[in-house]
Structure 1
Amino acid sequence: MSAGDALDLDGTIAARAAELRRLIEYHAERYYVRDAPEIPDADYDALFQELQAIEGAHPELATADSPTQRVIGAVLEGLEPVRHSVPMLSINTETDTTASGAEKFDARVRKALGLGEADPPVAYCAELKFDGLAINLRYERGELVRAATRGDGETGEDVTHTVRTIASVPKRLKGVDAAVLEVRGEVFMRLDDFAALNERQRKLIESGAKNEKVFVNPRNAAAGVVRQLDARNAARRPLSFFAYGLGAVEGWDVPATQNGVLDAFDAIGLPASPLHERVLGAAGLVAFHEAIAARRASLPYEIDGVVYKVDDRALQERLGFKSREPRWAVAQKYPAQERTTRLNDIGIQVGRTGKLTPVAKLEPVFVGGTTVSNATLHNLFEVRRKGVRVGDDVIVRRAGDVIPEVVGRVSKPRPGYVPNFRMPGACPVCASAVVREKGGVDHRCTGGLFCPAQRKFAILHFAGRRALDIEGLGEKIVDQLVDTGLVKSLPDLYALSSQTLQSLERMGEKSADNLVANIAASRKTTLARFLYGLGIRHVGETTAKDLARHFGNLERLRRADLPQLLDVPDVGPIVAESVHAFFAEEHNQAVIDGLLGAGFEWPESEGAAEAVPLAFAGKTFVLTGTLPTLTREAAKEMIESLGGKVAGSVSKKTDWVVAGAEAGSKLDKAQALGVAVIDEAGLLALLGRSAD
């Protein structure tokens, strides 16, 4: 390489370093000050590590104001600045998520302490790395006098007014009368509280409320709440707090170890994470990292790694600090759960129940420990809310075994007009009509009995105990029948022979004979069971019985229009439209004709008999407790056979409560409302049957 080439290379590297500093400053301001990040943590970390690498290879390019040399942060306008008595520094992040990440930290500590191979292992305090907002709590004589954010490490923001609304932050410490005790910790939002908050935010937005938003993640939701100017807003949004360290201390007996400090916090009323432990050497760090990784998906809050600290505080003093971080601590991350990539296209996936889900076709990206090329967009309304369009850079999230999803788009101008995504009018699998129910968010294929995507589910539902009750036709058999092409539609079941079934894996002659016999026996059923077995959306067992009772036979129901369907007791517009749409599809009618041609039959008088007002017509029963001889299902069928209804809860409209052994709150409510209560013998007497 010539001298000129070297100068050009150095110029290119210097320009890249300057660009990295600009990008890091911009994204840090979006994250720490505005609580509105545009890129995931992993992308920010990648920028930071690239700058560190350049400055490490070219020390002359490192500047005093470089983000690698200081803590980034600023005071939000409207909040009072607070000068920290002891700086709140960050700690180094080890992005190597394998065992070697912990081993490298242990090796650095041992080298700095002058320890050889023969020396005993170093003891560490292993903790969780919470994804929240760092806070300094200042207690004077045991009373909370101020809470401040980290800010730039030297100066933070006074957020006492909002932190006082956090239930887990004590206003008074137990048994502490120290002149000063500053406690450092993390304010965060539990995952269940975050989900509930965003659900409330969505409802506010849908109702037309202005200046409301759905939060991207719990960290930004927590930070946004803490940095509210109005404490009343913070009080309405639940936050939690864990203590993990100390700032200025005057007059408090500080324990000799980090683990001891955490235990002392609990004793004086400050919550510390229960998931911390004393471990020995690199092996102990690796074991902790792996154990928490296995539990990460089930934790009630978000973490993005673990933190290792030399346990002995005297050794911490010996190791000291370098520029912006301590030498005695490190954070080791887990595989990133969020990354940025390009949205190449949006496809459609048809689920086993007919739901159409938009699927993001992505430029492959490594996230959550695996390479992701597809991610769910949930439904059309989520696509609109997130504002994503083909060609956008989007944020992809994959947590544990959860299906990857697109969280949102990276905010930047598009090169030109890109049309909004629209749901198709016809199913991409079977070409049946696609519908969306009024007030609903999901689009569905109407070809339930015909659509290949729904075939297995349709067969399993049809064969279920409460439908045609075909014993032996379980999931594994259905998988083989469909995958081999032996069954493409419900009528194909009735053409199966024992010899054909024996060709399936693990299907012997006796099992095949029994299944053929059970399929044949299912032809003799009731109209209600047959209707329920068709899997018409919103038609459960009770509605199927209502339809059978009202129309009397299948042909009248198949020809019914919407007004006629709405005449059925307890059938509203949504159910009526669903039934009408089902029978309007020619292929559904073809499947029904095929089943009838296979020899299905039910009592001709079934509908007419049910249509006659009987003793229990219009009467409502509630079953509770265990009856001496009748199962809950048998009692329900007896009641419904005479026109009665069985409800799940007691109200003033309930006519009888049938109570058995260990009847609970339903019996209490019936007695309070004055509803008639009978036992099994009383029910049988009403039915005109004996108890033999």
Structure 2
Amino acid sequence: MTIEAQIKQLRDELNDYNYKYYVLDQSEISDFEFDMKLKTLQDLEAKHPEFYDVNSPTNRVGGTITKNFNTVVHDYRMYSLDNSYSKDDLLAWEQRVKKMVDGDVSYTCELKYDGASISLTYENGVLTKAVTRGDGVQGDEVTSNIKTIKSVPLTLKGDFPEKFDIRGEIVLPFDGFNKMNEERIEIGEEPYRNPRNTASGSLKLQDSSEVAKRPLECLLYTIVGRNLNIQSQIEGLQKARDWGFKVPNAAKLVHSIDDVFEFIEYWDVHRHDLPYETDGVVIKVNSFQHQEELGYTAKAPRWAIAYKFKAEQVSTRLNEITYQVGRTGAITPVANLEPVELAGTTVKRASLHNADQIAKLDIREGDEVFVEKGGEIIPKIIAVDLTQRPSDSKPTEYITHCPECNTALVRQDGEAQHYCPNYNGCKPQIIGRIQHFISRKAMDIDGLGGETVALLVNEGLICNYSDLYQLTKADVLPLERMAEKSADNLINGIEQSKQVPFERVLYALGIRYVGETVAKKLVKHFKYVDAIAEATEEDLVNVDEIGVKIAKSVVAFFQSEENRLIIERLKGFGLRLEISEEALANQTDTLAGKVFVVSGVFARVSRDELKKMIEDNGGKIGSSISSKTSFVVAGDKMGPSKRTKAEALGIHVLTEDDFLIMVNKS
């Protein structure tokens, strides 16, 4: 046998042993025999570097040093999931699903493992990239570290697509976590707090050989890509198993919401027997065609929902109530607690939300309070132990003036929160607005973080976000911890942000109630910032999905002389405050006033492309067929009941070709 053949045989054997041990929990040889084979392979590879393979099992021991993790844009966005905490929430979700899709709906139930989300990219059966979730749009590339995790296949087997991404959770099993902590205590170091944070932190270690020492596992749950030849979630899970991925066997296909409840009830009890942390159940519409019809909101898929198990509760002392000022001037009361362990972390503070919440629970300083993590993430006070209340306790008097600038607070009718109206003179509001302006989903200014913004404001270098564009390297170099390269990155990042599209600039302005989705709708309708600035409440309310509250807020923002001056400055600095000529050229009003419902599978364009064509030509997308629907665009496999409903309402049903002819004629 040639040396090359020997090396290939050893690699194949070791990959197979790895798969059977770490994925199937089957041990065919002893650890000693495995180590001997690995040592033989290492020796052969060292003597014959011409046969080097980046995906050799020997590379799982790590050794790569990564100083800076590159930021990578996901090919397919990693959405969050909407959460539910009761059966009523799930029933309401089921009703929304059934309203939008035709025929019987099946669901895949999966356990929600508590770890660090990861996206793995495979090309021609080889792992090429591993990226953290980040903000869902982009994350950090951690490929070298992920390759050290034995349950992640470096090469696939079977009949796999040419290229795809697979998403999963990096978890740290309890046994491994406890062993790591025993070793840390033995050498006098602080133990790790919980498996989830330890798993997440492991992905960003600079030395991959240190990651290799940690008993991390990767549990996979979603495949995304083009031409996958997979029709459903449950089929995708089985395909992933066949290709060599570790997919939890708890996943189950069910055919009714009652079956979903049964799955939840079973695992609410038996989750404590699992080797990993889990905090709930994820329910997904099984059919990929149905998933495509349901689509997404701005933040989450409509076809999936997470049911969170009841949160852990503890009691502790409330030492003091303090107040924070947000970027919109909203005042948030904060409970400063006697530190207490809760769901694996030390909790010292909890939000009290507003004056009504304090009054409703009659929360007072000195009380013994019950704390839980809402969705096991954000601590909140849920009750007071009145049996332990001190005899000299006095009711909480909510503050009347801003804790930062001493301006008298206001509270509008129907509003839960108090606000500081000192928009241009209250420092936390100024800093908060600029921090929002530079955030990833807004201007995404590379090299500029929240702490640096606070420093720039406190040093008097900027007073609003338009001031950022007149900063020079000489201005920022004297700042604390600001080196030459950091200063260059900051100034370059500010300059590059001038290319950010109009809808993100509008969102970045921080107009109250104007989130990402509302900003896109305003930009699409008005096209220029001046048109938005001159719009009346009535003009704004006539825009799809813009209500009175949003309209009042937009009008108030642009009525401010200072805001108008800032907008003029941003224009002068070259920011994009109108739709580009190229984008405008592709838009018409031909379909204005028409509402389209899109259903089925299409051959010539994708569903998303079809919807974009409707919107680019002034039409609106409807979620379900009603008397307001103008046309139904019917693809292959559209449900018969939808067609029947459309015909009963006298709505014209278009084929894909009919629609394309309609648009092309325009």
TM-score normalized by structure 2?
A: 0.42
For the pair shown, the structure with the greater C-alpha radius of gyration is 1
TM-score normalized by structure 1?
A: 0.40
